[in-house]
Amino acid sequence: VIVDPDGLSVDQSYTLLIGSVVPRPIAWTSSISAAGKRNLAPFSFFTVVSVAPPMLLIAIEPASDRAMKDTISNVRQTGNFAVNVVSLELADEMAFTSEEHSPDVDEFEIAGLTPVRSEVIAAPRVGEALITMECVLEQTLKPGDYDLLIGRIVRFHISDELISDGRIDIGKLRPLGRLAGTYTAVDRIFRLPLGGAPASARQ
Ligand SMILES: Cc1cc2nc3c(=O)[nH]c(=O)nc-3n(C[C@H](O)[C@H](O)[C@H](O)COP(=O)(O)O)c2cc1C
């Protein structure tokens, strides 16, 4: 089928996007309100937008019938957030923090996670995460219906056991990937070429 997105409802567009842009990494985002209330929530509309300086982007759904998502309201108040990487072992805790909890609920507490003080920013990080990136809000954008938060990484926290030959060992990190409502684990890692010539040279 060929689809012109102009004719799609929001739900239809969302369904095509989450099935086509896969697998997606998950930014398990911790933040804190000006009053000091901690928050934690996952976002898979997430990518790198700059290397020097290092910057990340998360895209947050517009507010519907309920108030603004706590993450965006906290980041607007305090100007910082931390992105924690979700290893397979933390999948259930991550999913639990995605449920709608009122702003006065501390998702660290209800998910049984350890809030650890960050080095530079006010938002805490997830003690159990093997990688956390402390971010300072650099820019907000709204090119479409989602709010984009661009954060500049001011600290990487990387578990020592992950480092081999100066690189991060993805096999040890075991990052969780988001599909269309489902998830995937990294259980096969390989280099290219797989073998054989590229399709264009095979004719
Ligand atoms: C794996 C996963 C990925 C998600 N990705 C997004 C996303 O990219 N953008 C978004 O707005 N919501 C996303 N959500 C939903 C939010 O996590 C959810 O609305 C959450 O309650 C927001 O929390 P907050 O109000 O504490 O900020 C995702 C949920 C899950 C489980």
Phi, psi of 86 (to 5 degrees): -95, 110
Predicted pLDDT at 39: 96
Cα–Cα dist 49/57, whole Å = 6
CA atoms within 13 A on the CB side of 132: 24
Tens digits of per-residue pLDDT, 150-187? 999 999 999 999 999 999 999 999 999 999 999 999 99
Q: What is the pTM of this model?
A: 0.95
Determine which residue's CA is closest to atom 18 belonging to ligand 1. Answer: 98
User: What's the confidence (pLDDT) of residue 65?
Assistant: 58
Confidence of residue 64 (pLDDT cuts 50, 70, 90): confident
For residues 5-13, average pLDDT: 97
Residues 65-121: tens digit of each pLDDT? 566 899 999 999 999 999 999 999 999 999 999 998 888 889 999 999 999 999 999
- Looking at the chain, the whole-number percentage of residues with pLDDT higher than 90 is 89
Report how far residue 44's alpha carbon sits from residue 115's, in angstroms, rounded to the nearest whole number. 21
Q: Which of 28, 31, 43 gets mutated to test ligand 1 (max ligand atoms within 8 A of its CB)?
A: 43
Burial 81-93 (b: 16+ CB within 10 A, else e): bbbbbbbbebeeb
The whole-number pLDDT of residue 101 equals 85
Rounded CA separation 39/104 (Å): 9
Residue nearest to atom 4 of ligand 1 (CA): 43
Q: Is a pLDDT exceeding 90 seen at residue 203?
A: no
| Residue 202: per-residue pLDDT | 55
Please state the atom number of ligand 1 nearest to the C-alpha of residue 42: 17
Q: What is the amino acid identity at position 115?
A: P
Does 178 contact ligand 1 (Cβ within 6 A)? Answer: yes
* Mutational pocket test of ligand 1: of 61, 85, 93, 148, the residue with most ligand atoms within 8 Å of the beta carbon: 61
The Å distance, Cα 191 to ligand 1 centre, comes to 32
Which atom, in ligand 1's list, is nearest to the CA of 61? 11
For ligand 1, atom 5, the nearest C-alpha belongs to 43
Reported as a pLDDT band with limits 50, 70 and 90, residue 198 is confident
Write down the pLDDT at residue 68.
82
What tokens were used for 48?
A: 């790198």
| DSSP secondary structure letter of residue 181 | S
Percent of the chain with pLDDT over 70: 96
Residue 58 CA: nearest ligand 1 atom is 8
Joined together, the tokens standing for residue 97 give: 């923090």
Distance CA 62, CA 73 (A): 12
Q: Which two tokens stand for residue 6?
A: 């102009």
List of residues 6+ apart from 16 with CB closer than 8 A: 3, 5, 8
Average pLDDT over residues 146-153: 98
Side chain identity, residue 158: I
Backbone phi, then psi, for 57, in 5-degree steps? Answer: -130, 135
